[in-house]
Amino acid sequence: MLNAKGDKVYDLEERTGKFGEDIIEFAKKIPRNVITVPLIGQLIRAGTSVGSNYCEADCAESRKDFEHKLGISKKEAKESKHWLRMIARANLDKRDECKLLWKEVNELTMIFSKITTSLRAK
């Protein structure tokens, strides 16, 4: 993710929050029909939950609590990838936007995995 200056953003609270905002804006553009309505709801729940759970992890009361909350963020990120895939299938004209969002949430998933792996190695 890039900031307004074009620099890479490493603040995960900001980055996950921006991802949630991007999901909301993307969801507003998807045509509503019998197939997309449930997909949109699922995507919004998962996509915005990535950041909220990361915020909880950041304020964890213990290392175990941190690992647990970060694990939830990772699960929500992976679920977001799934719903983006389904929406891309249901709306071929939104495929490129889905790919960009998928790329960002995939990077977040890898970051969460690396943090989790590093914690377990200690």
**Domains of the chain, CATH where assigned:** 12-121 (1.20.1440.60)
CB 50 within 8 A of CB 108: yes
Please determine, for residue 9, whether its predicted confidence score (pLDDT) is greater than 70. Answer: no
Q: Structure pTM?
A: 0.89
CA-to-CA separations, 89 to 38, 113, 117, in angstroms, rounded: 14, 27, 33
pLDDT tens digits for range 76-110: 999 999 999 999 999 999 999 999 999 999 999 99
Please state, rounded to an integer, the average pLDDT across all residues of the chain.
93
- Which pLDDT score, from 0 to 100, does residue 69 have? 96
- Is the pLDDT assigned to residue 53 strictly greater than 70? yes
Of 81, 83, 60, 84, the residue nearest 70 (C-alpha): 60
